[in-house]
Chains A and B, each alone.
Chain A
Amino acid sequence: DAGITQSPRHKVTETGTPVTLRCHQTENHRYMYWYRQDPGHGLRLIHYSYGVKDTDKGEVSDGYSVSRSKTEDFLLTLESATSSQTSVYFCAISATSVSYNEQFFGPGTRLTVL
Chain B
Amino acid sequence: TQLLEQSPQFLSIQEGENLTVYCNSSSVFSSLQWYRQEPGEGPVLLVTVVTGGEVKKLKRLTFQFGDARKDSSLHITAAQPGDTGLYLCAGARNQGGKLIFGQGTELSVKP
Contacts and interface: CB of A to CB of B under 8 A. Distances in A.
**Most-contacted residue by chain A among B4, B30, B88, B104 (CB, 10 A):** B104
A97 interface: yes
A51 to B, nearest CB: 11
B31 interface: yes
Contact of B101 (A44, A56, A107): A44
Contact of A90 (B42, B97, B102): B42
Given A31-B97, A97-B96, A43 B43 contact: yes
Contact of A107 (B33, B42, B103): B42
Chain B interface mostly helix, strand, loop or mixed? loop
Contacts of A101: 97
Given A43-B43, A100-B31, A48 B101 contact: no
B99 A103 contact: yes
A100 B96 contact: no
B9 A100 contact: no
A32 to B, nearest CB: 10
Interface in A84-114: 90, 92, 94, 96-108
A89 to B, nearest CB: 11
A94 B92 CA distance: 13
Interface string A21-58: 00000000001010100001111110010100000101
**Most-contacted residue by chain A among B31, B42, B100, B101 (CB, 10 A):** B42
A40 B97 contact: no
Contacts of A40: 9, 103
B97 A98 contact: yes
Contact of B103 (A41, A45, A100, A102): A41
Contacts of B99: 43, 45, 103
Interface of A: 4, 31, 33, 35, 40-45, 48, 50, 56, 58, 90, 92, 94, 96-108
11 contacts: A40-B9, A42-B88, A42-B104, A45-B100, A90-B43, A97-B97, A99-B30, A100-B31, A102-B33, A108-B40, A108-B42
